[in-house]
Amino acid sequence: MGAGAIGCYVGGCLAADGADVVFVGRDRIKREVAFSGLVLTDLDGARSKAVPKEKLAFTTDAASMRDRDVVFCCVKTAQTAEAAHLLRGVLRSSAIVVSMQNGLHNAEVLRQGLATQTVLGGIVGFNVVSKGAGAFRRGTSGPLVIEASTDLRVTKVAAALVASGFEVEVREDIRALQWSKLVMNLNNAVSAITDRPTQDLLFVDEYRKVLAAIIAEAVDVLKTAKVPTARLGALPVELFPMMLKLPTPILRVVARTQVKIDPEARSSMCEDLAKGRATEVDYLNGEIVRLAESVGARAPLNRRIVEIVHEIERRGTGTPKLGAQALWQELHR
């Protein structure tokens, strides 16, 4: 449900390996894949999978989910309540819905709208780049995480995902992991504002300075609020600011233990701004601002990031491509 870049990639890998998958997405993607089918390329570009258009069940109608056992909800966070409304009365009562979305509260929103279905939290620990013409390429490494359940279908779908080449974790501590993923996703807005690939944010000193300051502020807020986090990758989130202060050659070595990154990888927020779509900044950097306010703390850098992104959205002029120095000055106005 919400077959954009993540939905097409994850669902497409399953469908290419023979799973019975129905995709519900926007009409623009339906037209695209009706012409080209799906071509899915992994991180190193060495392997690809394809779903021919003749075998692709892609629709814009949520009623097509009527007979599904497991639904991955991949819509943008702002559309979660709408997705629940569309699925209400459509899904069988025994269906499992897994929130494969950014942010913290999507599973709760889905539960409010889907009273009879089992709703589980989830995390997509990697990003996917839409290349056009039905082609989607994985941009970073990372696991798929599904909230633990005693339902055997969770075990089965996890096994199917592993067979399709994904790293999968079924975890009890989903909220702590979601906070860790949110901190990692704070780079999304920086990538969008600067139009720089993720590698530049990590390995070019002036961009890393911006990212390190934003993440350090977020980690301080989490500590003040006594919010538990969990390891998502090789390093705990509390060490991210320290890691980003390392000299670039050493950081490159350390970063390889945490994540692999395609040189072209940019955040999905970058594409949203470029195409004049609303972003998820309120559910990422904005979440840090709200948490800070709840404990009487401040998060001025993350607050300014939210303001800048909304200013760009209102102008509708696409990605401004701010340089690192210009962004630094904007953050300290």
**Digit-coded pLDDT (tens) for 35-46:** 999 999 998 776
- How far apart, in whole angstroms, are the C-alpha atoms of residue 226 and residue 315? 38
- Assign 310 a pLDDT band (cuts: 50, 70, 90): very high
* Residues ≥6 apart with Cβ < 8 Å to 89: none
pLDDT tens digits along 71-121: 999 999 999 999 999 999 899 999 999 999 999 999 999 999 998 999 999
Please tell me the predicted confidence (pLDDT) of residue 220.
98
- How far apart, in whole angstroms, are the C-alpha atoms of residue 143 and residue 119? 20
* Residues ≥6 apart with Cβ < 8 Å to 270: 188, 191, 192, 195, 319
Q: Give me the percent of the chain exceeding a pLDDT of 70.
A: 100
Q: Which of 178, 157, 28, 19 is nearest to 97 (CA)?
A: 157
Do the Cβ atoms of 43 and 139 come closer than 8 Å?
A: yes
Distance between start and end Cα atoms, the chain: 41
Query: What CATH fold (topology level) applies to the domain 5-172?
Result: Rossmann fold (3.40.50)
Please tell me the predicted confidence (pLDDT) of residue 46.
66
pLDDT at 233 over 80: no
- How far apart, in whole angstroms, are the C-alpha atoms of residue 191 and residue 174? 26
Determine which of 118-127, 134-143, 145-154, 263-272 has the lowest per-residue pLDDT on average: 263-272
Q: Which of 134, 166, 181, 104 is nearest to 4 (CA)?
A: 134
pLDDT at 323 over 70: yes
The dihedrals phi and psi of 135, each to the nearest 5 degrees, come to -100, 130
Please tell me the predicted confidence (pLDDT) of residue 5.
95
- How far apart, in whole angstroms, are the C-alpha atoms of residue 117 and residue 194? 41
User: Residues 277-296: what's their mean pLDDT?
Assistant: 97
* Residues ≥6 apart with Cβ < 8 Å to 109: 80, 81, 84
Do the Cβ atoms of 105 and 78 come closer than 8 Å?
A: no
Mean pLDDT for the chain overall? 94
- How far apart, in whole angstroms, are the C-alpha atoms of residue 184 and residue 204? 17
User: Residues 242-271: what's their mean pLDDT?
Assistant: 86
- How far apart, in whole angstroms, are the C-alpha atoms of residue 147 and residue 172? 6
* Cα–Cα separations (whole angstroms), residue 53 to 56, 133, 190: 5, 12, 36
User: Residues 193-207: what's their mean pLDDT?
Assistant: 94
Q: How many CB atoms lie within 10 A of CB 186?
A: 23
Q: Which of 320, 324, 38, 329 is nearest to 187 (CA)?
A: 324
Please tell me the predicted confidence (pLDDT) of residue 278.
92
The long-range contacts involving 104-109, CB below 8 angstroms and separated by at least 24 positions, are 104/175, 104/178, 104/179, 104/182, 104/283, 104/287, 105/283, 106/73, 106/77, 106/80, 107/147, 109/80, 109/81, 109/84
Burial of 224 (0-12, 13-18, 19+ CB in 10 A): middle
Q: Which of 24, 29, 40 is nearest to 129 (CA)?
A: 40
* Residue ranges of the chain assigned to CATH 1.10.1040.10: 178-331
User: Which one of 46-55, 185-194, 248-257, 264-273 scores highest in mean pLDDT?
Assistant: 185-194
- How far apart, in whole angstroms, are the C-alpha atoms of residue 261 and residue 259? 6
Across the chain, how many H-helices and E-strands are there? 15, 11
pLDDT at 283 over 70: yes
- Assign 263 a pLDDT band (cuts: 50, 70, 90): confident
Query: What CATH fold (topology level) applies to the domain 178-331?
Result: N-(1-d-carboxylethyl)-l-norvaline Dehydrogenase; domain 2 (1.10.1040)
Q: How many CB atoms lie within 10 A of CB 143?
A: 18
* Residue ranges of the chain assigned to CATH 3.40.50.720: 5-172
pLDDT at 216 over 80: yes
